[in-house]
Structure 1
Amino acid sequence: MERNRVLDDKQVIENQAIELQSLNEFKNHFFVNISHEIRTPLTLILGYARRLKDQSEGENARRYAHIIAEQSLNIKGLVDDIVDLSKLEAQKFVLNEVSVDISHLLRKIYTHYQGLFAQQAIELVLDIPESPVIISCDAELMHRAITNLVANALKFTPPEGITCLRMKIADNLTVEVYNTGVGISSHDLSRIFERFYQAENTIANSQGSGIGLAIAKEIVQAHGYRIRAESVPHQYASFTITIPNHQVIPEEIPQPASLTSSQSPAAHSTVPGLQPKLTKRILLVEDNLAMRKYILGIDALKSYEVLEADHGKVALQLLEKHPIDLIITDYMMPHMDGLELVEQLKQKEYTQPVVVITAQTNQQKKLSMLRMSIDGYLTKPFLEEELLLTIEKALRYDDARRQFLAKELGFSESPLTTDELTAFNERLQAIIDENIDNENFAIADLCDQLHLTERTLYRKVKELCGGTPAKLITERRLIRARTYYDQGTYKSTRQLAMAVGFKNSTRFAEKFRTHFGIEL
């Protein structure tokens, strides 16, 4: 009887655990869905507030519009915290690593926060090298982590204080956010990265969600970097991200033009230097009528010819009837969503650049899109300048790709067949596949077989694939590893790593988990 009671209790506990897990998943799903619903109207509020500020003549009207935009950004921060919290609890931080100029990223954060610090009479100092410093990271998540540290410094630096955002290269690459002020007590310092924990202080008591630093730590550690906090109470606090030098890419990779905060949120909606051609035709696919009207109302976009569709099926019909230079599509739509549309575009051999706009922050969905070689991925709420710069860059790269195919490979510039578009990639992939199990196969070997210099190889791969040769090699290795994994060809992680040319099985397992969400 006692044994039966124990077994019954065990079954009750297991059932309760299943119910709690189900409830937790429902909660996370609810957070993501409600955040998606908030982002679209938030985009419209921010966009029209900026236009109102630019066009208003009265000082009060401009001030009120600025307050609306500022508070909307605060709401966006809360929404981001909710989504990030759900990701933390579900352990769904998935990295999309690309080559990023960390110097440029820090300048972007600095210019965005400069005005906010000035409003509170706080000096914000930027101390970074002038030359590019390239690392491999998820640009969006790393931006989020450093932004959280800077926002934290803004809350806890008193008027007339100093906050410094600096980067140093010595034994390792370090990014530090330092601020004078109340500092952090030794008791609080040991718990500062815990979720929902807020240190006792006299400046910003109870402000914020209490998860910003926890999110920053999760992001940093997911990259294999380190983060630490130091402080002397009533003097200063410092947060330092350490990036091992072996994860810094030595080659200077040219970065595309990108948005600075001097263009936002109060800048005029026309981006200086953008000269869109009247001959370019854009297809806008968006089911929300208010969002379509907002995008169509962007001044610089009026120089393009824009066709409209409210879902993917209508977009495909328009593509059959009209020549299109670029496609802008929402992700979530009825009848045929953005992902299905992009899949159809690839199947039907359409080659136009595609820019995806979404309220979703799900990294797996983003990766699904990026693996299909889209040209831009913007998350609502976005800046008008951000959209315009993405369009301009995508069109410019498309023109460069066509010119390259015509000049370097002898392909006709228009029309381009699928064979012409994929020929160079196929040559690259064939060589990589032949050497897939060679752990010593490197960029130099690829250059030798293609009879190209490293710089020329990088330029060609960048123009055709949007990535680097090293990323292409890693991608091919991981794809082959997934095939072996599905087939059960190898029994151990080490054997699987060696079969696809990875020297370090631990590093391989991390890459495999990040890429496919599968623990080996």
Structure 2
Amino acid sequence: MESIVKKMILVGVKKGLSSKEIKRIKVLNVTAYVALIHAIFFLYFDYYTNSLDQAKLITLILEGIFFGSIIYLQRLGYFKFSRILFTVTVFSNLFFHCNYAFKGYYGEYQYLVIPLFSLFFFDKRYIHYGLLILSIIAFYVPNYYLNIYPEQYFGYLNVLFLFAGIFLIINFFKNVNERNEKKLAKQLLKNQQMKQILDVKNKELQSLNNFQNHFFVNIAHEMGTPITLIKGQAGLLAKKMDRRKEHFPEIHKLNYQIDKLEGLLYNIRDIAKMEAETLVLDKKNISVNQIAQKGFLEFQPLFEEKGINLSLSLFHRDLMVEADVIYLERVLSNVLSNAFKYTEKGGQVDIKVNMEDSLVSLIVTDNGIGVPLDELTSIFERFYQSHNHINKANGSGIGLAFVQEIIKLHGGKVKAYPNTPNGLVVQMDFNKVNPIQNIPEPLEVVTLPLKKSPTIKDKTILLVEDNTEMRYYLKTILNEYTIIESSNGNEALAVLNNNTPIDAIITDFMMPEMDGEEFVKILKEKGDRLPIIMITARLDVKSKLKMLRLGVDDYLNKPFMEEELLLRLNNCIRNYTSAQQYRKKTDTTEPLDQENKLVIESKALVLKNIHNAYFGVAQLSDELKVSERTLHRNLKKETGLSPIQFIRELKLLHVREIVENNKFTSLQELALSVGLSNGIYLNQLYKERFGRAIQDD
């Protein structure tokens, strides 16, 4: 109903008309509709009250016709003619009603509406005053000839003053309103012009900011490879000089500078991830005291070398927050690096852990050069640098910006305020969490539709896990396999020593009596080739490298997806079965050590050329100085993989390491890092191999 009324009022309104013209059209439409309703109402009213004579019938019908015509003319766009017709119709209608159809009802006072409508519908003054005079004449003159009212009714000039007074008052306010509207229109035009200028400037600033961001990110990508090479060569140099390292303090300084540069590159890449909303935090309950201690121990030698006293004040008990430990450590590292940079020799820097209400605070205080009050909020803006003598020489302006954005992602806040009498205080606040004591955390698992293989029903899995609930959960996932359970490495070895047929082993890393590490070592020393998947909650790089050096076929981090475990297990069994079948088929008598040596050398060469898009089977066999047939036979026998599959497997394992450490900004970057040109194809291969995509499509 509301939309119908709105359409009726807007009859004739078109694009391009001024706001003043639109107002006139709408008012005339409303007035015409009211007049139509008036005519229809009195037709029925006078008819039912038996007061409808011929004169009334004619006037009411003509009223309906003329006001209907006005609406139609408005629809056609004849706006001025419609207003003239409206004025003539109203005057004629009033004249006929007052003097013939409804005489004696004092309707003459309605003549006042004619000059008032004129003020709204017309712009010419002579029309306004002409209609005012005509209305006054129409009020007075007809009575002298028709004797409708007593003579004394017109004996005074009160109606003249009434008409003129009301007209002049309305005209005054109308003129004031028009002047104000013109001023407002001018101001709106200025505002629009200013907005356009600001939009242009904003686009220029945004473009400049994007260029600056892309420039830094591109530089970071370009520098990634040489920094990796420098770091690797420095590591080799440190190993060669290990026995005499006290004579070469430069090695330590070199490694520190490399780490510092590498941290800067990580910051830039992570900021790019934040903009693309691809940065994923691995949040867990962690101790802020431990984070502070680690930062203190890491930076203490550096501060001592510069002659700055670094102190640590921990809270009297452990305070837990939900955070990504890697990113929180980098946040503290950035703040401490900032304090180190702006504090002179002989200065003081304090690390403090505190709690107020439910907020846990990590506070770094220095007595360095400080920051002016008007710049305290700006120092957290990207690429902003405070104006001082140190920043003239160096600085990127992204350290504290990175700190603020990471803390925001953790649901916390960071603020800076002056230290008295000089220096700066950076306070990072987090929401405290209360860890549940003596209750194991539920395993977070995403359940997806499982892709069952028709060939797994006759396979037997040795499950080595000390946690009863975890064993039960794994058995539920592996319900189509035959499961043999062991609670530690000793029990698992006993099962294997009984010559029980086993197709694969799934083992935990940390267990009592004999852990997963020792268990796998014993198996490898015996020359056992069974595929092994290790499940662990330890996500640090050192632990991952340790597992890979043990020779496990794959490892899985907790929490994991069911499909991920099934897919990886199926891959391991398939490769192991393929290798077994190939060994039986070829019935080779080549020494085992020689075969293993070729696999080890192949792996080293593939990893060395991991970025090379043109390094394939032919190049690998040339480097090894063996034929492609010999290479195929040995790789298939040892790994169950063809040379092409072997190279692809190593590339995917390399990609997994990058993904798990959040050291990439895009699929395309990942693809290029392993010599592939298509990021979408890499994502597909990764999902097929590890059971989960790098990024959702």
Q: TM-score, normalised by structure 1?
A: 0.47
- For the pair shown, the structure with the greater C-alpha radius of gyration is 2
Q: TM-score, normalised by structure 2?
A: 0.36
Larger helix share, 1 or 2: 2
- The structure, 1 or 2, with the larger RCO (C-alpha pairs under 8 Å, 6+ apart) is 1
